[in-house]
Amino acid sequence: MGRTELFSTRLSGATLDAVAGDNDPPRQRGGRHDQLECDSPRAMTETPDTAELIAAARAAAVNAHAPYSRFAVGAALLMRDGSVLTGTNFENASYGLSLCAETVAVAAANAQGRLREIVAVAVTGGAMDEAGRMRGDAVVSPCGRCRQVLNEVAQLAGLDLPIHCAAAEGDAVATYRLSELLPHAFGPADLGIF
């Protein structure tokens, strides 16, 4: 099953702002009010607390149920109060019923009534070796479906979420705003829902 847990870390207010990207606020685009503009994709200056969020995603990936793809993914959600919720991918023999790590984590936040409290996301993934350990130095970003799920959260919360994308191993990390990963997104605003 998709495993979620409340990670035992809480981040301080100043670090919460840094990890959540509040020190680099997005700008509104001309046109639709629900689209936010950000700088081009950039390498992240990793703070110790961003590193903790990525570490939480890596720890979650250890519990991936990925017997078909042998590709483990972990996600960590930074909540407004500094707590961290995690999720991991859960594959199914029928493939189409598989759940991505980001979706599992977002569903857990929603089940706790905390959907609008998500302020940042970290995701990591890599091929599993024979022992089931995640390996690889390529940065992994959310799939298209997860970007759409995260867009739902972002629009409901009125945020352009920072997404910290990390490799399974090493220091390779890139940070994007959700609007960079899913430009011109369809969401609740298009349906007049807020």
Is residue 100 a known part of a binding site?
yes
Is residue 143 a known part of a binding site?
yes
Look up the CATH superfamily of 5-183: Cytidine Deaminase, domain 2 (3.40.140.10)
Annotated catalytic sites, by residue? 102
pLDDT of 159 > 60? The answer is yes
Which residues face 122 on adjacent strands?
Answer: 76, 164
Residue ranges of alpha helices (H) inside 32-78 are 48-61
Transcribe 102-116 into DSSP letters.
HHHHHHHHHHTT-GG
Q: Give pLDDT tens digits for 32-77.
A: 333 333 333 334 444 558 999 999 999 999 999 999 999 999 999 9
Is residue 194 a known part of a binding site?
no
Please tell me the pTM assigned to this model: 0.78
Which residues face 87 on adjacent strands?
Answer: 75
